[in-house]
Amino acid sequence: MRALWQRGRPRAPEIQSRTCSSTSWPEVPSSALESTSSVSTVSPTVALPPGSASSARWRSSSDTRSPAAGKADSSGCVAYGSCWSSLIVRPYADAVPLRSARRGAVGRPGHNGRVTHWVLHVDMDQFLVAVELLRRPELVGLPVVVGGRGDPTERAVVSTASYEARAHGVRSGLALKLAKRRCPEAVFLPVDFPVYEAASARVMATLRATPGAVVEVLGWDEAFVGIEADDPVAAARSIQAAVLAATGLHCSVGIGDTLVRAKIATDFGKPQGTFVLTRDTWMEVMGERPTTALWGVGTRIGARLEAIGIRTVADLAAAEADALVAAFGPATGAHLGRLGRGGGRSRPDDTPWVARAHGRETTYQSDLRTPDEVRAALAELAARVIDDVRKEERMVQRVHLKVRFAPFFTFTKVRKLKEPTWDVEVITQTAHDLYLALDDQRPVRLLGVRGEMVEPEGGY
Known active-site residue 284 = no
Q: Counting Cβ atoms within 10 Å, is residue 1 exposed (0-12), middle (13-18) or buried (19+)?
A: exposed
Among residues 443, 417, 439, 442, the alpha carbon closest in space to that of 430 is found at 417
Phi-psi region of 126 (alpha: psi -120 to 50; beta: other; left: phi over 0): left
What size, in residues, is the chain? 460
**Options 132, 222, 361, 392, the catalytic residue:** 222
Active-site residue list? 222
